[in-house]
Amino acid sequence: MSASLTRLQVFHFRHRLDRPIPTTMGLMTGRPALLLRIEDAEGASGWGEVWCNFPPDGDLHRARLAANVLPAALTGLTGNLDKKPFEVVQTRLHRLAIQAGEPGPVAQLAAGVDIALHDLAARRADVPLAVLLGGQARHVPAYASGISPAVFQDQFARMRSLGYRRFKQRIGFGPDDGLGEVETAASGLAPYEKLMVDANQAWDLPTALQRAERLAPLGVGWLEEPLPADAPDADWHALAKATDIPLAGGENLRGDDAFYAAIDLGALSVLQPDICKWGGLSGCFAVASRARERGLIYCPHFLGGGVGLMASAHMLSAVGGPGLLEVDSSENPLLDLFSGRGLSLSDGLFPLIGGPGLGYDPDISAAADMLVSEQELRLEA
């Protein structure tokens, strides 16, 4: 029988960027990470991460929200996974999400808890997180993402030096939507390298059709979020029918119904749920498994610190298939420091760390200069 949860620690970090990173949502002026550590009465613990990248300073809100509402939401819980932690916490905070009009932040907190309790359970069982999820602990193929038009050459060079041979470049903003830079990058690829592109919901259907026609000769591996996630099904169908480029998406979907509808629609070839943004491991495992059954490729989306990255690697390892782990190549020391192993690949693969759960404890002291706040909260049995 699992012991009651007794302690919650909330660690809020932020790295200030001297050179802001442009995106279709505006400039990123900092790189945040919000980590949770949950401990039970017998001293077992687990780590999770809460998505907190947008809007600007959204990490400040998530950190305060976590400290204010999670102690009550975790009251009486144990590390037992018979009931999915994500569903339990989201249900307990359902009225708050309605009242505040914030289903996204509430889902992100619940996802972080779900990851932490899976890590705790895996450590108790003395198995890697991927094995707890029902799969095998294997090294996973990965790609370098977050490549910006303004600095793409430097980012390609850095990630190639770390062993990456697959890359994803941002488009949808700047002069000519960054397509000129993508064409330059594509022309410089080695025969064994591959390029994908991410428009981050930037276009309407007519624009997406035009851009896809221009991208087609480049042989890109996929076109990610060319339309808003909530664009009409007819628009997604029309774009998928008009281009041979595989379409990817999923990071901005929320809820089983939304994911299953996207899978059934048939427009996406690559499904990209984010375990820190919605569902945690329990919700996203079900979604990813359904996608694999329907012939889609599962590639976990991730943008944050190293704990979420490693949990995503375990998730991909457990689900299996030809999917790739997303590793952000833009400036973010919190990704590198908290991964427990850096970002380098070995023979094109991102290695899992041996040991139970995630396989390591993030080195909080290594990021002491980026710590914004640390809160320790007692939980009632």
Please write the tens of the pLDDT for every residue from 243-300.
999 999 999 999 999 999 999 999 999 999 999 999 999 999 999 999 999 999 999 9
pLDDT number for residue 26: 87
Which tops the pLDDT comparison, 25 or 329?
A: 329
d(CA 137, CA 128): 7
Taking the C-alpha atoms of residue 347 and residue 104, their distance in angstroms, rounded to an integer, is 37
Would you state the structure tokens that stand for residue 255, as one six-digit string? 């809820």
Neighbouring residues of 206: CB distance < 8 A, sequence distance ≥ 6: none
Q: Residue 39 forms beta bridges with which residues?
A: 7, 45
Rounded distance between C-alpha atoms, residue 133 and residue 127, angstroms: 10
Tens of pLDDT along 161-194?
Answer: 999 999 999 999 988 999 999 999 999 999 999 9
Report the chain's C-alpha Rg in angstroms: 20
| For residue 1, pLDDT beyond 70 | no
pLDDT at 217 over 80: yes
CA distances from 188 to 156, 184, 201, 217 (A): 10, 7, 26, 14
Pick the CATH number of 5-126+365-378 from 3.40.640.10, 3.90.1300.10, 3.30.390.10, 3.40.50.10860: 3.30.390.10
pLDDT digits (tens, 9 = 90+) for 275-289: 999 999 999 999 999
Tell me the percentage of the chain whose pLDDT exceeds 90: 95
What does 143-183 look like in DSSP terms, one character per residue?
A: EEEEE-GGGHHHHHHHHHHTT--EEEEE-SSSGGGGHHHHH
Is the pLDDT at 366 greater than 60, yes or no?
Answer: yes
CB 158 within 8 A of CB 188: no
Exposure letters 84-111 (e unless 16+ CB within 10 A, then b)? bbbbbbbebbeebbeeeebbbbbbbbbb
pLDDT at 2: 79
Residue 82: predicted pLDDT: 87
Answer for the pair 60, 34: CB distance below 8 angstroms, yes or no: no
Asked if the model's pLDDT at residue 125 lies above 60, the reply is yes
Contact 12, 59 (CB under 8 A): yes
Q: Please report which confidence band the pLDDT of residue 84 belongs to, taking 50, 70 and 90 as the band edges.
A: very high
What's the confidence (pLDDT) of residue 380? 87
Q: Is the pLDDT of residue 231 over 90?
A: yes
pLDDT at 226 over 80: yes
Is pLDDT of 381 > 80?
no
Task: Please check the confidence at residue 22 and state whether its pLDDT lies above 80.
Answer: yes
DSSP string, 89-141: HHHHTHHHHHHHT-HHHHHHHHHHHHHHHHHHHHHHHTSBHHHHTTS----EE
The residue length of the chain stands at: 381
Whether the bond into 20 is cis, omega within 30 of 0: no
Q: Which pLDDT score is estimated for 64?
A: 98
The residue type at 271: L
Per DSSP, what are the bridge partners of residue 264?
A: none
CA 308 – CA 286 distance, rounded (Å): 18
* pTM for this model (two decimals): 0.97
Comparing CA positions, the residue from 202, 299, 208, 196 lying closest to residue 250 is 299
Cβ-contact 189, 183 below 8 angstroms: no
Side chain identity at residue 79, one-letter code = G
131-350 folds as TIM Barrel (3.20.20)
Per-domain residue ranges for the chain? 5-126+365-378, 131-350
pLDDT-based confidence at residue 61 (cuts at 50, 70, 90)? very high
- The residues with which 375 forms a beta bridge, in sequence order, are 10
Residue 114 CA, distance from chain mean position: 14
Query: Is pLDDT above 90 for 70?
Result: yes
Mean pLDDT (the chain, rounded): 97
Mean per-residue pLDDT, 15-33: 93
Collapsed DSSP state (helix, strand, coil) of residue 50: strand
State whether the Cα torsion 24-25-28-31 is positive or negative. negative
∠ CA 222-170-214, rounded to 5°: 60
Helix (H) or strand (E) holding 375: strand 371-378
Domain pair 5-126+365-378 / 131-350, same fold: no
Tell me how far apart the alpha carbons of residues 350 and 171 are, in angstroms, rounded to a whole number: 26
